[in-house]
Structure 1
Amino acid sequence: MKPNRAWANIDLDMLADNLRALRSLLPDKKILAVVKADAYGLGAIPISRQLEDGGIDYLGVGTSREALDLRNAGITSPVLVLGALVEPEIEMLIDQNVSVTIHSPGRIDELQDAASRVNRPLPVHLLVDTGMSRLGVSPEQAVHHACTISMQPHLRLEGIGTHLSSPSDAKEVVRQRKMFAQITGDLASRGIEPPLVHIDASVAALGDPDPHANMVRIGGALYGLASATPGTDLMHPILTLKSQIVYLRDHPPGQPIGYGGTFTTMRHCRLATLSIGYHDGFPSTMSNRGEVLVHGKRAPVVGLVTMDYTVIDVTDIEGTAVGDEVTLLGSDGSEQISIEEIARWCRIVPYEVTCLLGRRMLRHHQSALSKELELEGR
């Protein structure tokens, strides 16, 4: 049997290839790699180190704690906190040279006071709400607030951005971009030109990037999690999920399977138990719906996915045995299970699939260098 119940293989060399592909597609844009939520569940620190080695322009995180974790791990690339701040950590962010986002006017004085106390400049980005209706200052007041920030002695207006609410809706994208361009144009007429202007994430950036912005925020496409996005044919998934068979049993027709007997065998069946459950990140919504790969063939999930285990039907797959490797996400022979397929089964977005990966899921971050060291016994 394999030494692990379930594991994720994360290909750092493929990540580096994806970054190079992204630069070839967007040669005139700075790239902010979104590594929030532990890099979508893939491991923010090893992912960020690989991106730093590749010369990433910026790293974007969701919280102040995530930014500090990167700095504590020795990551020196520019970091921007995209989300709301935790007040006690503001001075630590200033000390660690982390840029922050201002979502509301009340933060301006608060951040100025904090930067003044430690007598250090704080680079900030102003977020304008052009249609997301979640965070950000109103478009009508954006110019006023940008001017206010520019007058603060310890704040530096490093950037201004907005967030597209419907990046696949061309009409809505045009509306939001036009509104945002009016704001940046008004600021320029007043002599205020933030060095960084950003509006597009993966879908819009790779479909039809805003010509007025000089930075894009890329997450899913960089990790190969957005294959349906235009332009991502040059980028490939960096994640493969695996588990193994820990138990095999033959059942007669009419046998209820699992909690509540939600599946009943209709024939003589051979069922295999996998050492992965919803605590590991295999969604319970895969129950009686999803499929996995065994020996290059598809095997359906039967019964309810439980906290620790999942049962599959391997009746039509010859030679299955305890210890056999099972592919949950990725390729096995000519068959492949994509993250979009899992998302459809679970009725969630693809990014949620990776964000659900639990702490018990062992993550192997692989690269040519790590494989060489392993062969050398180091």
Structure 2
Amino acid sequence: MYISRPTWVEINIDNLKYNIRQIRGFIGDEVKLAVVLKANAYGHGSIEISNFIKNENIDYICVASLQEALELRYNNIDLPILVMGYVSEDAIKEVIENNITIAIFDKTYGKEIANKCKQINKLCKVHIKIDTGFNRLGFKISGDFEKDKETLKNIIEIIECNNFIIEGIFSHLSLSNKHNDNIQHSKFLYAISELIKVKQIPIKHICDSIAMCKYEKFHMDMVRVGACIYGYNSRSKNLTLKNVMTFKSKIVQIKDIKKGEGISYDSTFIAKKNMKIGIVACGYADGIPRGLSNKGHVVINGKKANIIGNMCMDQCIIDISNLNEEDYKEDVVFYGENGPNLSQLSEIANTNKNEILARVSKRVIKVYINNGEIARIVDELSNKIRY
């Protein structure tokens, strides 16, 4: 396999399809499956992932921004797409022309969108976003009818608006604890019960990956699955998943270091003995957290090698004292198959798995494995795709 720079991710499509089928079996045929492809499909490459899974019984794609939705449309992805975040009212013509669904989250915004639709004489597909306690986007619902009267009235104005096709209504759990999650779910059910007195709303959804696993009774009409698709966040004994991404690089130079010498910026690592180090062609600009400096490790040929010194933008240094000479040319695995566990790595770096996955930069080459073989190599920076 030729790649222009020895830092790449291997994306196992066989595992991805396995996860989708496991999730589909877990939620049942009556519940729609929305795959979350925001942040470039959590670093996995949204266009490629969409093409590989388009025949895998997917009902919906969810993204965070209009750019993400349009990228998919411009690459001939024709599944229904919901933009869960803010979309400018000036973009509504493009939204409608590309058959994209957006979220309406307050009265003022809803009126602005409706006015734009009226100007161009087109209908816009929307999902109503309800804030049940996350305190992010959404019409805020307290669960108290008297307090919620005005908010419910505002939502009813939206769902009765002749410029909208109301496809769905959704919320998001804060996932702080079971008690609070149950309260949020109850508020959502309450809001729905009031609104369907006026108009039926086809798709009701509140579960992300974690909620899907923890609360089977919350699945409703659709679940929005991000992390679980890629092999993470399974909190159910009935759902076994496989990691899709493995992040790899190579040692490009070996050096002998004497006792007392410092490593990298600020010499935060001082050698306590004579030792061998390896310079790896990967740094924090590739998506490996700088927080792993002097804390994290990689795996080479099944052997652990500590990251020493401050991680640089484009390179890092590892202690190869534990390796044999024949190991030097083997793959350096930062996380994934036969490498460090991403959950443990994220704890060391004081972040979460999703952030690390989303950090994978454009210059990291993506190697897609399908049916056990290399199916595609994507080098975004040089705009090269090889089959």
Is 2:253 aligned against 1:247? yes
The runs of 5 or more residues in structure 1 that have no matched partner are none
Aligned pair in 2 of structure 1 residues 271, 211: CA closer, same or farther (>3 Å)? Answer: closer
- Which is worse superposed, 15-24 or 201-210? 201-210
Give the distance between the partners of 1:91 and 1:34, measured in 2 at CA. 24
Letter in 2 for 1:268: N
Q: Which residue does 2:300 correspond to in 1?
A: 294
- Aligned residue in 2 for 1:203: 210
Query: Which position in structure 1 is the counterpart of 2:104?
Result: 102
Match of 2:19 in 1: 18
Letter in 1 for 2:214: G
| Residue pair 1:177, 1:210 contacting (<8 A) in 2 also | no
Q: Higher mean Cα deviation, 116-125 or 309-318?
A: 116-125
SS for the counterpart of 1:173 is: helix
So what's the TM-score if we normalise by structure 2? Answer: 0.90
State which of 193, 204, 212 in structure 2 corresponds to 1:185: 193
Preserved CA contact (<8 Å) 1:247 1:322:
no
Q: Aligned to 1:273, what secondary structure does the other structure show?
A: strand
Shift of 1:128: 0.9
For 1:195 and 1:145, how far apart are their aligned partners in 2? 19
Following the alignment from structure 1 to structure 2, what is the Cα–Cα distance between the partners of residues 102 and 372? 39
Question: By how many angstroms is 1:241 displaced?
Answer: 0.4
Closer/same/farther in 2, CA of residues 142 and 59 from structure 1, 3 Å limit: farther
State the identity %: 28
- Aligned residue pairs: how many? 370
Give the aligned residue type for 2:368. Answer: H
Secondary structure, in 3 states, of the residue corresponding to 2:250?
strand
Cα distance change of structure 1 residues 134 and 92 upon mapping to structure 2, 3 Å threshold = same
In structure 2, do the counterparts of structure 1 residues 211 and 252 end up closer, same or farther at CA, with 3 Å as the change threshold? Answer: closer
Distance in 2 between residues matched to 1:304 and 1:18, nearest whole Å: 36
Assess, with a 3 A threshold, how the Cα gap between structure 1 residues 368 and 38 changes in structure 2: closer, same or farther. same
Picking from 151, 160, 168, the partner of 2:160 is 151
1-structure distance, mates of 2:151, 2:23: 31
Q: Does 1:353 align with 2:344?
A: no
Partner SS state of residue 133, structure 1: coil
Residue 194 of structure 2 corresponds to residue 163 of structure 1: no
Structure 1 stretch displaced more, 32-41 or 107-116 = 107-116
How big is each residue's C-alpha offset from its partner over 1:186-244, in whole Å with a ceiling of 9 and x where there is no partner? 223x24221000111111111113447211111001111225x2247521110000000
CA contact (8 A) 2:7 2:250 kept: yes
CA contact (8 A) 2:90 2:116 kept: no
**In structure 2, how many angstroms separate the alpha carbons of the residues matched to 1:308 and 1:255?**
21
Aligned to 2:145: none
Q: What is the SS of the residue equivalent to 1:66?
A: helix
When residues 71 and 280 of structure 1 are mapped into structure 2, their CA distance, relative to the original with a 3 A threshold, is same
Match 1:87 to one of 79, 86, 89 = 89
Q: Distance in 1 between matches of 2:233 and 2:239?
A: 10
Aligned residue identity for 2:228: A
1:369 Cα offset (Å): 8.6
Provide the residue aligned with 1:304 in structure 2: 310
Stretch moving more, 108-117 or 71-80: 108-117
> Following TM superposition, by how much is the alpha carbon of 1:115 offset from its aligned partner in structure 2, in angstroms?
2.2
Once the 2 structures are TM-superposed, how far is the Cα of residue 117 of structure 1 from its aligned partner?
Answer: 3.0
Q: 3-state DSSP class of the match of 1:352?
A: helix
Question: Do the aligned partners of residues 292 and 182 (structure 1) sit closer, same or farther apart at CA in structure 2, a change above 3 Å counting?
Answer: same
> Contact 1:160–1:196 (CA<8 Å) still a contact in 2?
yes
Query: Please, which runs of 5 or more residues in structure 2 have no aligned partner?
Result: 142-147, 378-385
2:255 partner amino acid: R
- Tell me, yes or no, if the aligned pair for 1:102 and 1:126 is still in contact at 8 Å: yes
Pick closer, same or farther for the CA change 1:175–1:102 going to 2, 3 Å: same
Matched, 1:216 2:218: no
SS in 1 for 2:186: helix
TM-score (norm 1): 0.92
Question: Is the alpha carbon distance of 1:128 and 1:85 closer, same or farther for their aligned partners in structure 2, counting shifts above 3 Å?
Answer: same
